């Protein structure tokens, strides 16, 4: 858990779940002219904050062993925010919302949680990746181990560690 004060959530990106990542990549990059900034195969980020995730990958990350029970269409998009003090923020809002899952560490090391908005859209809150890098490093992971775990570049990790 971080000792940072809770911050007001800052909108980061919209994530759309897609059935065919390659077709969607071509649509957003070739048809709409969006520049790919990160491509992790099952999820792709474009300049400006738009991201796409392959539906089966996304549902497995979010719902784990219940992924097959989730109706696609009701859970096919999510809005993503980042904030410091993720645990404290979850405690502040958990009684006011329908929780998808509480704070957990994702496979890439970032901690976050998801809730539904009033229309049933998934809203994700995650700690900033800089906070993830610092936490993983404080847990004893080397720079290279943090890079592998977080999928962040060595340059980003070095900059974060040098700033703190």
Please indicate, yes or no, if residue 2 is contained in any of the structural domains: no
Domain count, the chain: 2
**pLDDT class for 1, splitting at 50, 70, 90?**
low
Q: Please indicate, yes or no, if residue 98 is contained in any of the structural domains.
A: yes
Q: What is the pLDDT of residues 85-116, one digit of tens each?
A: 999 999 999 999 999 999 999 999 999 999 99
Range of the domain at 148: 129-164
User: Per-residue pLDDT tens for 114-162?
Assistant: 999 877 889 999 999 999 999 999 999 999 999 999 999 999 999 999 9
The answer as to whether 4 is a domain residue is no
* Residue 1 is assigned to a structural domain of this protein: no
Same-domain check for residues 107 and 162: no
CB neighbour burial string for 109-147, b if at least 16 within 10 angstroms, e if fewer: bbbbbbbbeeeeebbbbbbbbbbbbbbbbeeebeeeebb
Say whether both 136 and 150 belong to one domain. Answer: yes
62 and 137 belong to one structural domain: no
């Amino acid at each position: 858990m971080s000792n940072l004060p809770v911050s007001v959530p800052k909108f980061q990106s919209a994530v759309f779940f897609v059935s065919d990542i390659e077709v969607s990549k071509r649509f957003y990059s070739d048809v709409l002219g969006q520049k790919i900034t990160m491509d992790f195969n099952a999820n792709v980020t474009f300049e400006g904050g738009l991201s796409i995730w392959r539906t089966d990958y996304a549902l497995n990350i979010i719902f784990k062993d219940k992924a097959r029970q989730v109706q696609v269409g009701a859970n096919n998009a999510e809005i993503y925010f980042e904030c410091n003090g993720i645990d404290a923020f979850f405690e502040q809002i958990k009684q006011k919302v329908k929780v998808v899952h509480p704070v957990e560490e994702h496979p890439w090391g970032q901690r976050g949680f998801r809730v539904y908005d009033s229309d049933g859209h998934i809203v994700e809150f995650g700690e900033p990746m800089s906070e993830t890098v610092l936490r993983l490093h404080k847990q004893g992971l080397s720079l290279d181990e943090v890079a592998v775990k977080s999928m962040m570049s060595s340059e980003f990790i070095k900059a974060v560690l040098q700033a703190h």
